[in-house]
Amino acid sequence: MKRFLNLGTGLCILSFAGINKAEVESVDFSRSVVKILAISPSGKQNMGSGVVIAHNKIATNCHVTRIARRAYIIKEDRLYAVLAQAAIPELDVCILETAPVTLPIASLVTPDSIKIGVDITISGYPYALGIRTMPGSIIALHPFAEDAIIEINSGFIHGASGGGVFILRTATVAVF
């Protein structure tokens, strides 16, 4: 099975079916994007972003949480402790396990959805402040082992690592 990840910006590619480019302004992509607080053994705090992919699973980048002694998911004034972490270090992808979260679940896209020119929206917590979204598109696909590195033309700011890249599709069935 192929995995498609944007390793350049560290964002997972997710789908948000039922939305087309004209409707982007009315959609809140941030509902399934969370802030991550990771605390190192020395007490240093590292902030990043993540995406809810199951009721108790958050996808993020390992560089956000890899040296953490403790980590937390923050969303809508709620704090969820990270209970466990699974890693794919060569892709800088980590899946964090938490108590169940009551947030919308984003779905990973199928490989056939990844094409040059496809419209996307990125969402994350730059500088650990408020959630931010930016439009863009896929501008290149670069082979990487059995996978592809996806190049996008959206800006990226520190703290948004682990946030989502949402593909806009015209399908009629909603993901959430």
- If one counts the domains in the chain, the total is 1
Per-residue pLDDT tens over the stretch 138-150 = 999 998 888 788 8
β-pair type (147-152, 4-6): parallel
Q: Is residue 22 part of a domain?
A: yes
Which tokens in the block code for residue 138? Answer: 């896929």
Per-residue pLDDT tens over the stretch 23-65 = 444 345 678 999 999 999 999 999 999 999 999 999 999 999 9
Up-side HSE of residue 106: CA atoms within 13 Å toward CB? 29
Q: Is residue 43 part of a domain?
A: yes
Q: Is residue 173 part of a domain?
A: no
- C-alpha 46/C-alpha 40 separation (Å) is 8
pTM: 0.78
CATH of the domain at 37: 2.40.10.120
Q: Kindly report which listed range (114-118, 125-129, 162-166) carries the lowest average pLDDT score.
A: 125-129
Q: Is residue 174 part of a domain?
A: no
Q: Is residue 107 part of a domain?
A: yes
Q: Could you list the residue range(s) of the whole structural domain that residue 135 is in?
A: 4-168
